[in-house]
Structure 1
Amino acid sequence: MKLLQSWEREARRAVLWAHRHHRSLAGVVLAALFGTAVTAFGVAPLAPDAADLPQRLIAEQVEPPHWHSQLEALGEFELLLTRNELTRSTDTVDTLLARLNVTDAQAAAFLRNDPTARRLMQGRAGKMVQAQVGPSGQLHRLIARYPAEKPEQFATHFTRLTIERAGEGFAARLEQAELNSRVALRSGTIESSLWAATAASQIPDTVTIQMAEIFANEIDFRRDLRRGDAFAVIFESLEADGEPITWNQAAGRVLAAQFINAGRVHEAYWFRDPVLGKAAYFDAKGESLRRAFLASPMEFSRVSSGFALRFHPILKTWRRHLGVDYAAPTGTPVRTVADGVVEFAGWQNGYGNVIFIRHAGGRVTVYAHLSRLNVRQGQRVEQGQHIGAVGATGWATGPHLHFEIRENGQHVDPLRVARSSEAFSIAAASRAQFQAQALAYRQQLALASQQQFAQAE
């Protein structure tokens, strides 16, 4: 009973409070309702399920842009073709332009008559020529690159001759520009010959010649090469406007090389010894690969007859050949294989034009059938110095060099003498520097070989 009376008293108080504070109570109720509405809005779906919506297919024809005007604009665009060539000793303006696919009488006349443009056909052959030609064969621009005109700039600069269309005619300008240098890395495998393998690996001929020179005392490239032999080479390439040059022996100087012949690894590293003041190629032990006698008096030419029994082409009898014959075109430079003094330079019977050079240790070298003599009797010469040129004088059926080495009057095998001749070593104070440089090159050569084997697989 008392509990019921207490609830009644509380109810009357609530009613009185609501009557007195009816505005506050309305605000609270509205706020609660508004919050509920927002919550409902937040969870309600924004759109019906797409699967329940009706579907229809709309087809509309699309008009392409005005392609006729685009074809006309494309037809007005002039397509230029670029072609590269090397000048030849037998070239005329017409033959060179024909190889460049240029059919332009006005350009041909300009090349013949303009004093600056005429330099294109002057001087020695081997100039690098690049031509931009229109669809009808008209010349738009021709750029020729060749050695610098000043000898002191030969290793650092090149000459650029530019001939280009200007209005109704042509203009020519001549300038000297700097050569750029970069280091290249190549590798390859012997399948048929060294030349074929290096060509397949995009190695310049100057680099191939140097590789053969570097390992000439270690590998007989005439008889020792085997299918499957491998090589890797790092070389410095000189470029003219991004094009590797072809006229400078320094272009493509070998910095390091590795040759695997019959399973045996041969290494060579270019190093300038600061103590000895000499630069040469050294093996991994620091021994010079260039000995007192070079293996050949010519830069990698074909041996046509070795130090052996042969059928004499003129006397028509079998007899011992007491030297080595190198087949090469007339005019090919001949060098001395070692330091010495010219004992004789002139004409001598079947030898024709011949040079005898006396060296230390009772040795004499003989260079026969020459077309030109560049030394005289009594003159001192250094290893590698050009002393004459290949010819066909005396008893010769064609242009070649006959080469002999005599020891105390007895004929000996030139290759044996080269391989057994003395070499010099890197100074002790320079060995640490050499080993560090050789290690860096060895790692790069290994990387080149790995890439080559991966490509082969």
Structure 2
Amino acid sequence: MSTVNQFLTNINKKVSSLKREGTKILSPKVNQFLTNTNKEISSLKFLTDINRKISSLKFLTDINRKISSLKFLTDINRKISSLKRERTKILSRKMEEIVLITSSILFIFFIYFAITYNSILEKKRTESIDSFLSNNQTVLLKNYILNQVKSPYLEYDYIVKDNDTIEKILKKFSIKNDEIIFIVKKIKKMNLSNIVPNQKINFILKKEKASKNIEIVKINYPLSKTTFVQIDKRKEKIEIKKNITELFKKDIIVESKISNSLYSSAVKAGIEPNIIIEFARIFGFEVDFQRDIRKGDVFEIIFERYSDDRNKPIKTGKILYAYLNVNNQGIKLYRFNKKGSVGFYDDQGKSIVKALMKTPINGARLSSSYGKRKHPILGYTRKHNGTDFAAPTGTPIMASGTGTVIKAGRCGGGGNCIKIRHNNSYQTVYAHLSKFATRKGRRVTQGQIIGYVGSTGMSTGPHLHYEVHFNGKPINSQKLKLPSGKILKGEERKLFEIERIKLDVKLAELKSLQK
């Protein structure tokens, strides 16, 4: 037992010894291991720091996710930026256009203002001179001229007033008295002193250096469309001469269709108004231009036109040939001088002239016919002895036939009226006139203007009341059957045929030149 105990004791000692030895041996190694382990643990601390930082940066990850989810906003921003650039370009172009338009408007306005302002100044200047001339102010016109213009020359168009004479006008311009006497005496001797109101006289004047008087340079005024008076002062000598414009005659042909009225269609075709009126007068015996004319009717005229050396039309001459197609019926009329009496004849040599024209007024509307009617003023029905033609006040009225004026004055309810006796059988009456163009006792010719449309007497508006009396009794002028014109015979017929053939040849030639 003791041996065992001893043995165990020894073993324990050895174990203890071994422990001590082991401890001695292991302790450095363990310590080294632990040290190394601690070092490794220490070296891993940065990971902890990183983890902490990563943890702290997680919110950035969330933000990035959100930003990524909001990328469409970036695209929208890009598009908005692009649209802004486009809008800027468009606005820039629009602004350029607005500036250009505004500049143009301002430029036009400036030009208009300049012209208007200049016109006003010129008008004021002219009015000032006219005011001086009409009021005869104490300040001489020459002083006005010298104060208003720096140039020694002045050109002025003087408009002739009522009761003006050449002498009175020259005195208004302060021309030297001896020169006025010379000019007036000379133009009277040459029969060149005829001036009328509203006529224009052109003055070119000059300031004399020494005396400061107004000196004549040139004076021009017309006597007619082709005749002019020219007064020149050269080297203290005044020369007066009559200038006659050389005119060149040309036969003109015009063919056209009536679209609205004869007058408007003829004017549109380039025919002068006086030729149109003469054309209507020629056919007035056969055609009622207020009721017979239809759209599409054809007319043709050969007439004379006179032009100057610059081919500017100055005046018209005679109608040589006239054609009118009315209601599908053509009427040809040729001019023929029968022993000093000029008339128009058809291709059979029959005169177009009848005792009375169908209507004594052009461009009027038939407003009331012959017969019973309710009087517009009195209100009851009674016979209307004439024909009423509605027309504007002042429209010319023609004598429907050649005759003698037996009355030109008041006719009761007819107001101002004219009565003409044409022969032993026929008389005509023209009532409600605004004014007269003839007087009692005068001889008038067919187509001559005798008065003007008005509304005098018992009248509801401007019109012509026209009556035809046969053997003292009123008859319907619109149904009047007058005998045809005279027919040329014998030698006159032969001469007419020669003229007719010449005009037919001329007609063909003029038409060929138009092609």
TM-score interval, smaller chain? 0.5 to 0.7
Deviations 1:95-127 (A, max 9, x none): xx98x978634762587367983236779xxxx
1:104 pairs, out of 117, 122, 126, with 122
Q: Does the 8 Å CA contact 2:286/2:358 hold for their aligned counterparts?
A: no
Name stretches of at least 5 consecutive residues in structure 2 with no aligned partner. Answer: 1-114, 135-155, 164-189, 208-213, 228-243
Residue 393 of structure 1 is matched in structure 2 by 456
Residue 75 of structure 1 is matched in structure 2 by none
Q: Against the structure 1 CA distance between its residues 152 and 444, is the aligned structure 2 distance closer, same or farther, given a 3 Å change threshold? A: farther
Residue 258 of structure 1 is matched in structure 2 by 323
Q: Which amino acid aligns with 2:461?
A: G
For residues 385 and 191 of structure 2, what CA distance do their matches in structure 1 show? 44
Residue 267 of structure 1 is matched in structure 2 by 332
In the TM superposition, residue 285 of structure 1 has moved relative to its aligned partner by 1.5
**Rg comparison, structure with higher value:** 2
Deviations 1:412-433 (A, max 9, x none): 232443x624523335223333
What TM-score, normalized to structure 2? 0.52
In the TM superposition, residue 164 of structure 1 has moved relative to its aligned partner by 7.2
SS of match in other structure, 1:364? strand
Note if 1:226 corresponds to 2:298. Answer: no
Fraction of identical pairs, as percent:
30
For residues 391 and 201 of structure 1, what CA distance do their matches in structure 2 show? 31
Q: Which amino acid aligns with 2:389?
A: Y
For residues 304 and 163 of structure 1, what CA distance do their matches in structure 2 show? 51
1:124-273 paired onto structure 2 within 5 Å: 161-162=201-202, 172-176=219-223, 177=227, 178=244, 180=247, 181-239=249-307, 242-245=311-314, 251-273=316-338
Name stretches of at least 5 consecutive residues in structure 1 with no aligned partner. Answer: 1-96, 124-148
Moved more, 288-297 or 321-330: 321-330
Residue 17 of structure 1 is matched in structure 2 by none
Bigger RCO of structures 1 and 2 (CA < 8 A, at least 6 apart): 1
For residues 462 and 191 of structure 2, what CA distance do their matches in structure 1 show? 33
For residues 152 and 256 of structure 1, what CA distance do their matches in structure 2 show? 39
Deviations 1:303-339 (A, max 9, x none): 3425346664323556654322334454554343223
1:32-43 paired onto structure 2 within 5 Å: none
2:157 pairs, out of 109, 112, 117, with 117
Residue 349 of structure 2 is matched in structure 1 by 286
Residue 76 of structure 2 is matched in structure 1 by none
Residue 413 of structure 1 is matched in structure 2 by 476
Deviations 1:203-228 (A, max 9, x none): 11112112211112222222222232
SS of match in other structure, 1:104? helix
How large is the RMSD of aligned CA atoms in angstroms? 4.2
SS of match in other structure, 1:118? strand
Residue 322 of structure 1 is matched in structure 2 by 385
SS of match in other structure, 2:159? helix
Instruction: Considering fraction of residues, name the structure with more helix.
Output: 2
Q: Does the 8 Å CA contact 2:391/2:453 hold for their aligned counterparts?
A: yes
Residue 426 of structure 2 is matched in structure 1 by 363
For residues 506 and 162 of structure 2, what CA distance do their matches in structure 1 show? 42
For residues 288 and 323 of structure 1, what CA distance do their matches in structure 2 show? 28
For residues 251 and 129 of structure 2, what CA distance do their matches in structure 1 show? 36
SS of match in other structure, 2:343? strand
Q: Does the 8 Å CA contact 2:288/2:358 hold for their aligned counterparts?
A: no
SS of match in other structure, 1:117? strand
For residues 363 and 269 of structure 1, what CA distance do their matches in structure 2 show? 28
